[in-house]
Amino acid sequence: MPDVMRGRVIMHVDMDAFYASVEAARNPRLRTVPFWVGGAERGVVLSANYLARTYGVSGGMASTRARRLCPAGVAVPPDFDHYGAVSAGVFALFDQITDRVEAASIDEAYLDITGSQRRLGSPRLIGENVRARVADEQHITCSVGIAQGRALAKLASNRVKPDGLLVVDPGEVVALLHPLPVEQLSGVGPATASTLHKLGLSTVGQVAHTPVSTLRRALGARAGQWLSDLSWGHDESLVVGQDRERSIGSQTTFARDTDDPEQVGTELLRMAARTAGRMRASGLCGRTVVLDVRFADFTTITRSGTLRDPTDVTDEIYARARKLFESLGLQRARIRRVGVRVEGLVPSDQAYRQPALDEPERGMRQVELAADDVVYRFGAHAAQRARLTRRTLSNPESGSPGITSVGGTA
């Protein structure tokens, strides 16, 4: 493989069993058992780990069927806020590689790395760097395919799942593609495959050597031409850079509408802690804190405030969110939901903070980073703030909310 690939170079990155991998990363006990993310008795399987897949459990399957196939399997409720935070961290990494990133989903993206080779090295080196950093920063794995076109890059990443890398040299395209079944070509679903089979075409090589006029008559002018071109590895579709929302947040809906300011304050702290933790996990800091309040009648209001410096510290995010809530001047208004979000995100290593003269060398951020390590080793509830444990402390508003260790030994 040459150090520089000529022409366009497209990288497809796909997280492996994303939801399940994220859950296993924050709860190591799940790594040795079959489990899926989704309902225990109702709903569908959103993602299954590879142990569960050996029993036949797969995404999109009814949870009841998953239970029949794998009676010992564990069903884990989904946490979409957390998945979004991990995804934001992964995409922040992509943005450091190229400004041409196209999200295909929360866990999948195309990157045009044509111009990145001069700065970051060969396509293989860039792909290995992505895999290593995703594993190091987010504790999950991804599969990477690199080729001169989008469809071929995606096919390459699918072939090496899980946790693999395949770089398709231009001279190897035909040898790779032509033995494959037609179902593996991008855009070939059951209906198209059935039509091709009726023409006696079962492999990509057979499609490639079929007159394009025949394919056009059978599939339509556009689809027939696309399939003919793709069977030879020709794909001129571009990676379209997108403006993605640059924020991380959390929200909670109360079991019952409440007008208790202490209960609201506790949940604001919980959401600030969750948001700050996800920011640290993603390697991001932010300056703008956004408060979201939904009332019993479903009307919703938001307020925002900007901090002096970017932060990922719970106390600082909570203090601003609490101040925003108090500024609303609510009197016995019944609240259904509250949320805390941080915008204006920047990588933590690029976030400059002006220390105060009387500020200690090590402060609350170092405490929270240490707590993050405990949580990573022993599970989500191994270390958390005392106010957020089941037993509510008296006078919880006094001083800085501390961190207590519960449910594990450090």
Q: How far, in Å, CA of 154 to CA of 192, rounded? A: 19
Identify the segments of the chain with pLDDT beneath 70.
1-4, 40, 42, 242-246, 350-365, 369, 372-384, 386-387, 389-410
Q: pLDDT value at position 109? A: 94
108 an active-site residue? Answer: yes
Q: What is the DSSP letter of 390?
A: S
At residue 374, the pLDDT reads 63
Q: Which residue in 102, 108, 316, 368 is the catalytic one? A: 108
Task: Please identify which residue in the block is written with the tokens 């997280």.
Answer: 15
Q: Which domains does the chain have, with CATH numbers?
A: 1-171 (3.30.70.270), 178-231 (1.10.150.20), 247-405 (3.30.1490.100)
Buried/exposed code over 248-258 (b: 16+ C-beta within 10 A; e: otherwise)? bbbbeebeeeb
pLDDT score of 409: 26
Tens digits of residue pLDDT in 339-385: 999 988 877 776 555 544 444 545 666 777 677 666 656 655 666 67
Cα 68 to the chain's mean position, in Å? Answer: 29
Q: List beta partners, residue 267.
A: none
End-to-end CA distance of the chain: 47
Please check if 107 is assigned to a binding site: yes
Judge whether 14 is annotated as a binding position: yes
pLDDT value of position 393: 34
Q: What per-residue confidence (pLDDT) applies to 340?
A: 94
Strand segments (E) across 56-170: 74-76, 101-105, 108-112, 142-147, 165-167
Q: What is the pTM of this model?
A: 0.62
Q: pLDDT value at position 86?
A: 87
The pLDDT value given to residue 386: 65
Per-residue pLDDT of 160-187, as tens digits, reads 999 999 999 988 999 999 999 999 888 8
